């Protein structure tokens, strides 16, 4: 494949198993396979959709990619270099290049840190810039994510913001380091549709502005259609289909994908009568 060297992230034979109740007497024979032999490449600069129902392993995949968990087997490559089981400086470096936007904006911001402290944290941790530069950067990032004017939000606390505004702050925290790759784990599932559309537009703009690559995890095929260049459909830990968005929606091959498209609520009210 000629396009292979443009892959920013590659997963090779990723298997993730969980062993419930590894207690003294049972060795946890009944393991749960969250991801079963995943092979996937995400191209630089694209918004890649990962669509699946709850429990399909899509969030697990996101957590593996930001190294909140390690795969049981398999390798993850970032720019063709293996990044599984990193530690120390290499892990720190990885953390500055791969970021995550979490699902619930009410849970993902520390209630006791102001907006500026939250967004400053990645800069402080990676020792980027002077105090003045950091301040500038935070205000600039706040304005990039549409919290205008940035100074007004600088000293506020999460409880003073709405859900949509909080999610913008979470996005600001994720992009302040200008990472190459961002995992967005259902960033709009807790927000209403109009806010969701605004955030999609924001993500598209950020992608253009910083040339970032996104993995967009969702259960909502419509959202994936709106936002993504390519889509992978995941079902019970297996990727059942990967293709361009138009192909997946217009010409689904796998029965599960077909079912998924069918159950997608649209405006086909005639089905009901």
Partner 1 sequence: MHKNHYLKRFLKGWKIFIKNPLGKAGLIILFVFMLMALASFLVPLLGPMYDPMTGTDPNIKVSTGPSFSHWIGTDNVGRDLFTQLLEGAKVAFIVGLSSAFISIVIGTTIGMISGYAGGFIDAFLMRMADIIMVMPSLVILLILASIFGQFNIWIIVFIIAIMRWPAVSRIIRSQTLSLKNRPFIEASKVAGASNFRIIFRHIMPNVLPLAFLYMTFRVTSAILVEAALSFLGFGDPSQVSWGMMLQWVWKTGHMFQAPYWLMPPGICISLLTLAFYLLGRAMDEVLDPRLRKEGQA
- 109 or 206: CB nearest partner 1: 109
Site residues for partner 1, 170-189, by CB under 8 A, read 170, 173, 177
Task: State the minimum distance, in angstroms, from the CB of residue 121 to partner 1.
Answer: 6
Q: Phi, psi (5° rounding) for residue 222?
A: -65, -45
Alpha-carbon Rg for the chain in angstroms? 20
110: Cα within 13 Å, side-chain hemisphere? 11
Of 10-18, 50-58, 93-101, 210-218, which segment contacts partner 1 by CB under 8 A?
A: 93-101
Report d(CA 261, CA 177) in Å as an integer. Answer: 37
| Residue 183 token pair | 């995992």
Helix or strand or coil: residue 33? strand
- 139 or 233: CB nearest partner 1: 139
- 155 or 211: CB nearest partner 1: 155
Contact, 111 vs 157, CB < 8 A? yes
Number of residues that bind partner 1 (CB under 8 A): 29
At which residue do the structure tokens 């969030």 appear?
A: 59
Task: State the minimum distance, in angstroms, from the CB of residue 68 to partner 1.
Answer: 6
Task: State the minimum distance, in angstroms, from the CB of residue 15 to partner 1.
Answer: 22
88 counts as binding partner 1 under rule CB under 8 A: no
- 185 or 241: CB nearest partner 1: 185
Site residues for partner 1, 214-243, by CB under 8 A, read none
CA 60 to chain CA centroid, nearest Å: 11
Task: State the minimum distance, in angstroms, from the CB of residue 168 to partner 1.
Answer: 14
Task: State the minimum distance, in angstroms, from the CB of residue 192 to partner 1.
Answer: 20
- 155 or 162: CB nearest partner 1: 155
CB atoms within 10 A of CB 139: 19
Question: Where do runs of H (alpha helix) occur along the chain?
Answer: 58-65, 88-97, 115-125, 131-144, 150-154, 163-175, 193-210, 221-227, 245-250, 255-263
Report d(CA 128, CA 191) in Å as an integer. Answer: 32
CB atoms within 10 A of CB 218: 22
- 34 or 242: CB nearest partner 1: 34
Report d(CA 197, CA 188) in Å as an integer. Answer: 9
Site residues for partner 1, 96-155, by CB under 8 A, read 96, 98-100, 102-104, 107-114, 121-122, 125-126, 155
Binding-site ranges for partner 1 (CB under 8 A): 66-68, 92, 95-96, 98-100, 102-104, 107-114, 121-122, 125-126, 155, 157, 170, 173, 177
């Amino acid at each position: 494949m000629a396009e292979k060297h443009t892959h920013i992230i590659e997963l090779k034979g990723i298997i993730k198993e969980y062993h419930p109740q590894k207690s003294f007497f049972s060795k946890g024979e009944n393991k749960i396979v969250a991801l079963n032999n995943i092979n996937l490449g995400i191209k630089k600069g694209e918004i890649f959709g990962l669509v699946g129902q709850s429990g399909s392993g899509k969030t697990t995949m996101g957590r593996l990619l930001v190294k909140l968990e390690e795969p049981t087997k398999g390798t993850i490559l970032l720019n063709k270099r293996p990044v599984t089981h990193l530690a120390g400086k290499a892990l720190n470096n990885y953390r500055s290049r791969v970021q995550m936007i979490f699902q619930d904006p009410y849970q993902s911001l520390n209630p006791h840190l102001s907006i500026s402290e939250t967004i400053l944290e990645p800069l402080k941790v990676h020792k980027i810039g002077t105090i003045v530069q950091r301040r500038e950067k935070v205000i600039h990032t706040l304005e990039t994510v549409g919290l205008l004017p940035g100074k007004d939000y600088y000293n506020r606390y999460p409880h003073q913001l709405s859900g949509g505004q909080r999610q913008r702050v979470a996005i600001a925290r994720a992009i302040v380091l200008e990472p190459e790759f961002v995992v967005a784990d259902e960033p709009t599932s807790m927000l209403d549709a109009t806010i969701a559309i605004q955030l999609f537009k924001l993500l598209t703009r950020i992608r253009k502005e910083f040339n970032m690559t996104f993995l967009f995890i969702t259960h909502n095929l419509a959202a994936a259609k709106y936002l993504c260049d390519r889509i992978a459909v995941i079902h019970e830990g297996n990727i059942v289909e990967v293709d361009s968005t138009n192909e997946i929606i217009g010409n689904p091959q796998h029965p599960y994908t077909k079912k998924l498209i069918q159950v997608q609520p649209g405006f086909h009210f005639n089905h009901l009568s």
